[in-house]
A and B are shown apart, each in its own frame.
Chain A
Amino acid sequence: MEVSILVFLAGGLFLGWSLGANDAANVFGTAVGTHMVRFWVAAAVCSIFVILGAVISGAGAAHTLGKLGAVNTVAGAGMAAFSAALTVYWMTKLGLPVSTSQAIVGAIIGWNLFTGSPTDSGSLMKILATWVACPLLAGVIGVLLFKFTGKLVTWAKLHIFRLDAYTRGGLILAGALGAYSLGANNIANVMGVFVPSNPFTAFGGSELFHFTAIQQLFLLGALAIAIGIFTYSKRVMMTVGSGLFPLSPLAAWVVVVSHSIVLLLFASQGLEHLLASNGLPTIPLVPVSSSQAVVGAVIGIGLLKGGRGIRWRVLGGIASGWITTPIAAGAICFISLFFLQNVFNQRVFQDHAYVLSPPVVEKLAAQGVSSASLAALKDRRFESWAALEEALGALDTPQPALEKTTRAFAMIESLTVARSKLNRLQGSSFSLEQRAALRAMIGAHFLHRWRFEAALAEASAAWRSLALTPSNKLANRQLEDQREEAYLLFRD
């Protein structure tokens, strides 16, 4: 393992630590803030379930490399993670429940700006819209659930001590589930970028016990999160639990459950599949911030109670944190990348080379680009997108509208299905049929990734996308992840 990888891995671990210090407050903050669960109990339960979630369920989501996937060098990824972590740490120091996802989005945009890579404005707008929709929805769910719980408790006529015991149990249970999903969903943000340069190897070959390299990497990240929970999360827990609005223990439970429902609505592929397979309309899967969900639910309950107890100054601090977080993370990332590249001589961005090979021209022609206009550029290799863009611009009939497709088809992402790499299939998520198709392609070399994917689809139905219906969405997304995994396994 290279020493530099270890250094950049530290950036990811720092992000893990910050995530633990900040996001653990979302699942246990109200429980600890209302003195229903002791901090050490909350920290222990949270840590155990974060680790379990990361190791057991985290690997499934890892192939997409999380939201940092676009950052294509370890140095760049490490610095993006470090910038996000530094921002989260700074906000945590102020005791504000900041959104780790926001910090990461900010850092990626910082990386995009520094490297001149395009930022997908559609995705960005979608993410920005959820920063408004998520707390609102959490507030509404919080109010409804609070009213329902109040009626239920009145009806059940529970003894005050019995109600206390149930609330305590409910808080720990909801917190444990929240911690599990925190580990499963966020570990890709922390460690996902290091998957291609994973220094670990799998061990324990039996059916019962098999510890893959990715799981070991994620365990390391989860341990960083756990250390963050134990060492630094108490202050944010107190802000969430009692600083914003004095919550009753029952309201604390309502907040945790509302936050989990919001995350589930926006993040559950299973729920989407269930709705789709029953012919019901689906909810778009968008990454949402758990911090915003918790704050939204607390404020919702506060408003239901007349709004007089809400500490607007604290809320103002939190809301301003939501604006400054992505901006600060982006700025820190931009400046740090400058130093990393120019002072420490590290490669923070890997630009791809492009070639308008005959299959590319043919593909573009099928998309409506006149092949005659591209004839002048046929088979020419361009070392960067900027060079190809310039050449395209100089053509008699420029094709700016097709920038995205040209970029995707002409990009050189060469790979070889080498026999020496076949042993890596053992720890993969591929089915037997998919593996057989890959084995049958031994020795094949591809210049473009889309050509490899087309060959896979031709070789086996197991690699073919299903018809674009809502009920097939989940299966197609899984297949997309598997194609990404296959590319990462065999790329040159």
Chain B
Amino acid sequence: MAVQLFKRTKQLELKVDEILDLVSQSAMAFDQAIDSYMSEGVSERFNQRLEQVVALEARGDKLGLAVELQMYNETLIPDARGDVLTLLEALDGIIDSFKSVLFYFSTEAPEIPESLRPYYSELAKLSGAAAESLVLAARAFFRDVQTIKDHLHKVHYYEKDADVLVTKIRREIFEMDLPLANKIHLRFFAERIVWISDMAEDVADKLTIYAIKRTI
């Protein structure tokens, strides 16, 4: 019985680790997809990355549900169950956002002026980096709560940089000689990308509280 219990625990640990891997992988795929969009538009390479993120999101949903069910059925970590579920749902939300931004690019194919493209690539990198730092913080929450701060401050750093950059992009868009509809369209994409880093920051704030709860 005890062996069975520890086997199930090990499997649960692996599932949570895999969810975190999925977030990290989707951040990288997102970054690469935006890069390829900026250089080639909706190309085969872009679509491959989009499909990759879609598959990662589906796998994440499945794993998240399995972890949630096991935690409730076996009444695991009663004191931190709510926190863990909120965290996993928020991480799933981040993968979901990567997917939806890529879908917007795929379906609406915005025409991004040459001069703004490096900014969009940079913005995607900052959002991806914020998400990856969040993944490291989440790993620390599960295993080594003392080191969580080492990663959380990076999330805030990237989010702040992304905020500065998106303001710069907005200003440049509206200084350009483009029809208003195009300007609004371009702004929409910049805001969708920066929104991911905002999400990562919100989760990081929650993680700070969860970590305090775990240490006392």
Q: Which A residues are closer than 8 A to B by beta carbons?
A: 34-36, 38, 154, 157-162, 164-165, 168-169, 248-249, 305
* A154 and B13 form a contact (CB under 8 A): no
With a cutoff of 8 Å between Cβ atoms, the chain B residues found around residue A161 in the complex are 9, 12-13, 16, 76-77, 142
Q: Which residues of B contact A158 (CB under 8 A)?
A: 143
Which residues from chain B contact A38 at a C-beta distance below 8 Å? 75
Q: A160-B84, A165-B6, A249-B79 are in contact. List 18 more A-B contacts (CB 8 A).
A: A34-B78, A35-B75, A35-B78, A38-B75, A154-B145, A154-B146, A159-B16, A159-B142, A161-B12, A161-B16, A161-B76, A162-B10, A162-B13, A164-B77, A169-B5, A248-B79, A249-B78, A305-B216
**Residues of A with C-beta under 8 A to B111:** none
Query: Chain B residues in contact with chain A, CB under 8 A?
Result: 2, 5-6, 9-10, 12-13, 16, 75-80, 84, 141-146, 214, 216
Residues of A with C-beta under 8 A to B79: 34, 248-249
Q: Which residue of B lies closest to A306 (CB)?
A: B216
| A34 proximity list for chain B (CB < 8 A) | 78-79
**Chain B residues in 8 Å Cβ range of A165:** 5-6, 9
A–B Cβ pairs within 8 angstroms, 19 of them: A34-B78, A34-B79, A35-B78, A36-B78, A38-B75, A157-B144, A159-B16, A159-B142, A160-B80, A160-B141, A161-B9, A161-B16, A161-B77, A164-B9, A164-B76, A165-B9, A168-B5, A248-B79, A249-B79
Contacts of A157 in B (CB 8 A): 143-144
- Most chain B Cβ neighbours within 10 Å, of A154, A164, A169: A164
**Residue of B with least CB distance to A150:** B215
CA distance A158 to B12 in the complex (A): 14
Q: What is the CB-to-nearest-CB distance from B191 to chain A, in angstroms, rounded to a whole number?
A: 35
Distance in Å: Cβ of B87 to nearest Cβ of chain A: 11
Q: How far is the CB of A413 from chain B (nearest CB, A)?
A: 53
Contacts of A36 in B (CB 8 A): 75, 78
Chain A residue with the shortest CB-CB distance to B8: A165
Residues of A near B10 (CB, < 8 A) are 162
Closest residue of chain A to B6, judged by CB? Answer: A165
CB pair B13–A159 under 8 Å, yes or no, is yes
Q: Which of B16, B84, B142 has the most CB of A within 10 A?
A: B142
Distance of B158 from chain A, by nearest CB (Å): 26
Q: Within the complex, what minimum Cβ distance (angstroms) separates A366 from chain B? A: 63
Looking at the assembled complex, report how far the CB atom of A362 sits from the nearest CB atom of chain B, in whole angstroms.
66
Nearest B residue to A162, CB-CB: B9
Distance between Cα atoms of A305 and B215 in the complex (Å): 11
List chain A residues, Cβ under 8 A from B12.
161
Nearest CB on B from A411, distance (A): 56
Contact across chains for B2 and A169 when beta carbons are under 8 A apart: yes
**From B147, which residue of chain A is reached at the shortest CB distance?**
A157
| Residue from the set B2, B9, B84, B145 with the largest chain A CB neighbour count within 10 Å | B9
Q: What chain A residues lie within 8 Å of B145 (beta carbons)?
A: 154
Query: What is the CA–CA distance of A161 and B75 in the complex, to the nearest angstrom?
Result: 11
Q: How far is the CA of A164 from the CA of B70 in the complex (A)?
A: 13
Q: Name B83's closest neighbour in chain A (CB-CB).
A: A160
- The complex places the Cα of A51 from the Cα of B6 at a distance, in Å, of 28
Instruction: State A160–B76 Cα separation when bound (angstroms).
Output: 10
Question: Which residues of B have CB within 8 Å of A168?
Answer: 5
> Please, which residue of chain A has its CB at the minimum distance from the CB of B11?
A161
* Closest chain B CB from A333 CB (angstroms): 42
User: Of all chain A residues, which has the CB nearest B77?
Assistant: A164
**CB-based nearest B residue for A169:** B2
Nearest-CB residue, chain B, relative to A172 = B2
Q: Which residues of B contact A162 (CB under 8 A)?
A: 9-10, 13
Question: What are the 5 tightest A-B residue pairs by CB atom distance, in nearest-first order?
Answer: A35-B78, A165-B9, A157-B144, A164-B77, A159-B13
Question: Inside 8 A of B214's CB, which chain A residues have their CB?
Answer: 160
Measured between beta carbons, the chain A residues less than 8 angstroms from B141 are: 160
Q: Could you tell me the distance between the alpha carbons of A169 and B4 in the complex, rounded to whole angstroms?
A: 12
B6: chain A residues at CB < 8 Å are: 165
Q: In the complex, what's the smallest C-beta–C-beta distance from A72 to chain B, in angstroms?
A: 48
Tell whether A159 pairs with B143 under 8 Å between CB atoms, given A165-B9, A305-B216.
Answer: yes
Instruction: Please give the distance in Å from B24's CB to the nearest CB on chain A.
Output: 18
Max count, chain B CB within 10 A of own CB: residue among A35, A160, A305? A160
With a cutoff of 8 Å between Cβ atoms, the chain B residues found around residue A305 in the complex are: 216
* In the complex, chain A residues whose CB is within 8 Å of the CB of B80: 160
Q: Bound state CA distance, A159 and B6, in angstroms?
A: 12
Cα(A164)–Cα(B144), bound, Å = 14
Q: Which residues of B contact A164 (CB under 8 A)?
A: 9, 76-77
CB of A160 within 8 A of CB of B78, answer no
Chain A: minimal CB distance from B82 (Å): 12
A160 adjacent to B142 (CB under 8 Å)? yes
CB distance from B21 to the nearest CB of A (A): 15
- Nearest chain B CB to A334's CB is how many angstroms away? 46
Quote the shortest CB–CB distance from B147 to chain A (angstroms): 9
A363 to B216, CA, bound (A): 66
Q: Kindly list chain B residues whose C-beta atoms are within 8 Å of the C-beta of A159.
A: 13, 16, 142-143
Q: Is the CB of A160 within 8 A of B143?
A: yes
